Chains A and B, each alone.
Chain A
Amino acid sequence: MQQIEFDTKWTMVVDIDKCSGCGSCMVSCQAENNIAPMEDGSNKLKTLTWMLVYELNNGKEFPERESAYLPRPCMQCGNPACVPVCPVVATTKDEEGGIVSQIYPRCIGCRYCMAACPYHARYFGWFDPIWPEGMEKALSPKTSTRPRGVVEKCNFCHTRLMDARARARAEGMDPNKLPDGWYKPACLESCPTGAISFGDSKNPEHKVHDLIKDKNAFRILESIGMDPQVYYISRRDWVREQSDNHLPKDKH
């Protein structure tokens, strides 16, 4: 399929060296997007974690052992594996900004997109969402809840983009040229170490425009060619090395 280029490219940059693995991004994502708590959360392979923190290590033993944490939202790939496979056009990448959408009332739950996405960024609603008593009052009013049986995923808190655009319109500005910092996903806001940056990487006035050019910036699985809109930064070689698969001979 042809890859569409947009004037705006919403991009997330995560500084892995700043991430302490506290999981606050996971929690805020859960709250912002009305992800129901699981009755039995022990089976991690059936939970909904649109944002998931992976633990990386350098493979050495103590005292040389080092760890790093890598938060993984949906990468909003430029060339997504999930979009062309969906039989019912429930997921598309056609909106200005390049966020890969997921239309819950359209999804039939075939899970082909889950099989296609190597980042495991897509989640299936295995169970009916059940809110503990009283929690309905704490639900986020702007985000739709999903029935069981559909696939869901991170959408860079798309509702916040809508809010930011509405604000821009109200202030007489171009809603497609938002100033830096107007549109912030929930994970960024809750991150205590400021590891996450977010903005339009095509707009020179946005911080991420320069961050993605950092010599230590990388994306995961570049060689497969999915062109993700999520970048990571790490000054540690062993972390960067784990961004993609390498043959033994090109290991450095």
Chain B
Amino acid sequence: MDRNLFPEGVTRCGLPKFSLWMAFVSIFFLWGAYAAVVIFVNGIGVTGLDNYFGFGLWITFDLAVIALGAGAFFTGFLKYILKIDQLKNIVNLAVIIGFLCYSGAMLILTMDIGQPIRAWFGYWHPNVHSMLTEVIFCITVYCVVLLIEFIPLILEQKQLNKIPFVRHFAHHLHVNMALFAGIGTFLSTFHQGSLGGMYGVMFGRPYAFRDGFFIWPWTFFLFVLSAVGTGPIFTVLVCTFIEKMTGKKLVEYKVKALMGKIAGSMLCLYMFLKIIDTWAWATGYLPSVGLTFDEMFYGNIYGKWLMWVELGLCGIVPAIMMITPSIRKNPALLYTAGILACIGVSVNRYVFTVQTIAIPVMPFDTWEFYAPNWAEWTTCGMIVAYGVLVLSLCYRYLPVFPSEIKLNSK
């Protein structure tokens, strides 16, 4: 029925099947939207956050999706600036994922701040000393850049592209893509970094505090590296997921393996620095404030296992897997490594947001526990659903994968 809207030369499932899928995902979207309304009306007292845990699932989710969305700026940088041409077959998807991750994070933030209608104060009364100010500026400007990168793809939709003005406009945007990719890289690097900086500068919180270079604590650089070490492989995973769902080949495996190699190299560099950082923190900084490494962990949900999972199982292991050519050549192993790496970066974001503030810094204080409640889970679910809905529409109607026709012609 909607065949005329499909990209040239591809096949898609029937409209009823697609509608059913969209309806199914919409349930989660609407459930979260309901929670969002409850939150806007009654305030965030309805969430599981409290005076100890001003930051919780939402911020963890934001940080994690933003790290995973880093495939956009890094792939854009490699494709348009370093001219690695092979990546053209996956860069569209990377841009869409980046846009979804960033816009999703911004949606969550509007709920997360106590006074949403004052959100613009961040631009109007900026505190130049605050890492969060840097975050606010970069995230919005970069989201706009991602939108600019996304628009030409929308304009390439078969019917839209028949309009001469649209075609020319899209062409001009394409020609200037290197410029946007450059701006995007700059903004996103700072944005990823200042998210890390946000925690690294908290000198009252020994779990997160790090000394560093100039105004930036080490966490600034660690966050950038961990994001570029996982963003590209997350793009590959999403691509593979779409392939499995639709039963089509969308991107050559060699492009995926290349993305894996890039992610793996970055992850190796990250792990190398992260291990040095952790060592220096445990043996240098902590004793200087009268604390020990053991005191940073407690029970199960704040246990040391989290650190071993983050650094070992979901850090060193996938890093080695992705840089080893024989392992990388095996799809199942590459995807496993990718999943591990994505879990690792999410654990890192979780411990920096939640563990950091759960630790009693005053000696007579106690560990506190935090459990997100339905309002936080469903709103995060809403963002995931939003991503799935937009991605489904893009896959169906936009020429996202340039090599799809070639790969599926038998």
Contact = CB atoms under 8 A, between A and B. Distances in A.
Q: Do A and B come from one complex?
A: yes
A21 interface: no
How many chain B residues sit at the interface, stated as a range, is 35 or more
A139 interface: no
Nearest to A84: B129
B159 interface: no
Contact of A88 (B127, B198, B295): B127
Given A43-B50, A124-B114, A242-B363, A149 B204 contact: no
B55 A106 contact: no
A148 B136 contact: no
B51 A85 contact: no
B404 to A, nearest CB: 43
Interface in B267-294: 287-292
Nearest to A82: B204
B130 A224 contact: no
Given A43-B50, A120-B52, A87 B132 contact: yes
A46 B136 contact: no
Contact of B289 (A47, A106, A114, A223): A223
Contacts of B361: 118, 221, 224, 245
B114 A108 contact: yes
Contacts of A123: 51
Interface in A176-198: none
A6 interface: no
Interface of A: 1, 43, 45-47, 54, 56, 70, 81, 84-90, 106-112, 114-120, 122-128, 147-151, 220-221, 223-226, 242-248, 250
19 contacts: A81-B202, A84-B130, A85-B131, A87-B126, A87-B127, A107-B118, A108-B115, A110-B113, A114-B54, A116-B205, A124-B114, A126-B43, A127-B45, A147-B115, A245-B290, A246-B290, A247-B290, A247-B291, A250-B290
The 8 A-B residue pairs with the shortest CB-CB distance in the complex, in nearest-first order: A109-B114, A149-B114, A111-B54, A126-B45, A245-B290, A45-B50, A118-B361, A118-B204
Given A84-B130, A109-B113, A149-B114, 20 more contacts: A46-B45, A47-B51, A85-B132, A85-B202, A88-B122, A89-B125, A107-B114, A108-B113, A108-B115, A109-B114, A110-B113, A110-B114, A112-B130, A148-B114, A221-B204, A221-B361, A224-B361, A226-B203, A243-B363, A245-B290
